[in-house]
Amino acid sequence: MQNIPMVDLVGQYNKIKPEVDAAIQQILSTAGFIGGPFVKKFQEDLQEYLGIRNVIPCANGTDALQVAMMSLGLQPGDEVITTSFTFIATAEVIALLHLTPVLVDVDKDTYCIDPEAVERAITPKTKAVVPVHLFGQCANMDAILDIAKRHNLYVIEDDAQAIGAEYTFKDGTKKKSGTIGDIGCTSFFPSKNLGCYGDGGAIFTDNDELAEQIRVIVNHGMKTRYYHDYVGVNSRLDAIQAAVLGIKLKHLDEYCKARQDVAAYYEKAFSVTEKIITPKTASFTTNVFHQYVVVLNGVDRAGLMAHLQSKGVASAIYYPVPLHLQKAYTDPRYKKGDFPVCEYLCEHVVALPVHTEFTEEQLKYVADSVLEFINK
């Protein structure tokens, strides 16, 4: 029996260990834990990589979303549209700011937010839309931007799962995910494609005025030390995390390619059965496969996961319960059956290991283990 985790961070670390260890030792030796040259260098390098004017590091991806909404001056009761098929943080920050989360269904092929559903959900109170670039590919941003322009809405991209992906517009121009809307937000949680060794996040924008507002908000609302012009938060990326991220950023495209190779292997391996529906990547985006999520067709999901566990193969469900059916977000506007695509996915998806350190032998072991159960 092998041991195949969802993500192999130890293996990844071992390949960059000398550089990481040296950078961390330098920070420890100088006690420059907050701010400093590593944070500044990472910020500048990420700006260059993304092709955007402003990157503002912060403490985590949830803070990134919250600060983005704070910077736009949204008021209690304003409605923000997002998908019901996502991690809770996307809606959590809307509720924490006393805004009104408006949830919609997803596209049946990409599992990203359905633009037609967004259009139907707009009311006079709608002020923003948060498309989630789910599992590694971009939502349909041409359609989202068109809707936002016609209805005068802000677009805040949740790019926590797709950093490194590239979007191709209808006119052929390209942009990195997270740089398309008014503001992009990402997480550097350790398992992300670009992950640190703790918590971390960042906010992206080409709007210099918004960027200045965001910089003030993440620093307690201060422009000048001890003079607070706005209500802010304390949300910083520390120097050790910035150092790790700066090293990993140089490998990000390599990491994304490794994940794409894993996905290609699975795609071929599972083409022999109709009981596994493999991910579809839209024509307008690359897919960096933060997760490799399949839809099971007539397969006992719990049984498959138990079988994989017995073989030493990790698996997970992203996500078992849609946001509109979560206890904390019970709302008379929504009931079971309202979002059929989202609800079907929650009942039938399973995620398989995908990471940068896979060997072909390990990939074959995972695929064979899945097919062994399905074909029995």
Quick one: average pLDDT of 246-264? 98
- First CA to last CA across the chain, in angstroms? 19
**Would you state the pLDDT for residue 229?**
87
Average pLDDT over the chain, rounded to an integer: 97
Query: Which residues, other chains included, contact 306 with Cβ-Cβ below 8 Å and sequence gap of 6+?
Result: none
Contact predicate 374/275, CB 8 Å: yes
Q: What is the pTM of this model?
A: 0.96
pLDDT given for residue 2 in this prediction: 87
Q: Residue 223: its pLDDT value, please?
A: 87
Q: Does residue 192 contact residue 281 with C-beta atoms inside 8 Å?
A: no
Q: Is the predicted pLDDT of residue 98 greater than 80, yes or no?
A: yes
Q: What is the per-residue pLDDT for 330?
A: 87
pLDDT tens per residue, range 182-210:
999 999 999 999 999 999 999 999 999 99
pLDDT in tens, 126-147: 999 999 999 999 999 999 999 9
Q: Using CA atoms, how far apart are residues 108 and 92, in angstroms rounded to an integer?
A: 24
pLDDT, residue 75, reads 94
In tens, the pLDDT along 316-329 reads 999 999 999 999 98
Token pair belonging to 106: 């997803």
What does the pLDDT look like over 39-53, one tens digit per residue?
A: 999 999 999 999 999
pLDDT at 1 over 80: no
Q: Give CA–CA dist 91/148, Å, rounded.
A: 19
Cβ burial of 317 (10 Å; 0-12, 13-18, 19+) is: middle
CA separation (Å) from 363 to 166, 312, 373?
Answer: 26, 13, 16
Q: Which long-range contacts (CB under 8 A, 24 or more apart) does 264-272 make?
A: 265/360, 265/363, 265/367, 266/292, 266/294, 266/352, 266/354, 266/363, 266/366, 266/367, 269/363, 269/364, 269/367, 269/371, 270/294, 270/367, 270/370, 270/371, 272/371
Q: How far apart are CA 22 and CA 321, in angstroms?
A: 43
Distance of CA 68 to the CA centre of its chain: 15
Average pLDDT over residues 81-92: 96
**Residue pair 296/350 in contact by the 8 Å Cβ criterion:** yes
Q: For 265-305, write each residue's pLDDT tens digit.
A: 999 999 999 999 999 999 999 999 999 999 999 999 999 99
**Which amino acid appears at position 281 of this protein?**
T
- The CB density around residue 150, as the number of other CB atoms within 10 Å, is 10
Phi, psi of 366 (to 5 degrees): -65, -50
